[in-house]
Amino acid sequence: MSLYSVINAIFGSNESDPQLEKKWNLIGRENELICLPCRRVYSKRGNDYDVALYYVHGKFHAIDATCPHLGGPLDEIVDLEMLVTMERPHAMCPWHLYAYDLETGSSPQGLTVDVYETKLKEENLFILHRDELSLHPYETEV
Ligand code: FES
């Protein structure tokens, strides 16, 4: 465990360990992923590092799945019609309705979430992230 991780564990910081290098994670087939406008992608490091994967206006967007306000889920859609009709789509937290721009991660309230690069290669979607990611939750110790 790095010093950074120890500090995060003690103070409850939500920041990622800068020592970890980002790598491209294969998430799945494009034609299967476009079936949902939003879903959670799980991080092997724990739920605090999960990603909300959006598919809006024919494009994938990946942002933190945890709202930096008080920890609400950003992989739940509050208003689908609003999401798909906004010129610049935003993820909206269902707890207090803070909205986060899917391109920049910023919100009018001054909070930001991390935005992760996505790419399609041979009809497979990849997300650039520090952690190992999966569409299925990782088993946790009980
Ligand atoms: S927890 Fe997300 S807006 Fe408050």
Establish if 3 belongs to a structural domain.
no
Q: Which of 89, 11, 76 is nearest to 39 (CA)?
A: 76
From the CB of residue 138, how many other CB atoms can be counted at a distance below 10 Å?
13
**pLDDT at residue 86 in the model:** 80
Question: Is the distance from CB of 9 to CB of 46 less than 8 angstroms?
Answer: no
Establish if 10 belongs to a structural domain.
no
Q: Tell which one of 93, 107, 113 to mutate to probe ligand 1, the residue whose CB is within 8 A of the most ligand atoms.
A: 93
Establish if 87 belongs to a structural domain.
yes
Average confidence score pLDDT of the chain: 88
Q: How many structural domains comprise the chain?
A: 1
Residue 119: is its pLDDT beyond 50? yes
| Structural domain that includes position 64 | 20-134
Average pLDDT estimate for 24-51:
97
Average pLDDT estimate for 49-70:
97
Establish if 98 belongs to a structural domain.
yes
The CATH number given to whatever domain includes residue 55 is: 2.102.10.10
Establish if 14 belongs to a structural domain.
no
Å from CA of 100 to ligand 1 middle:
11
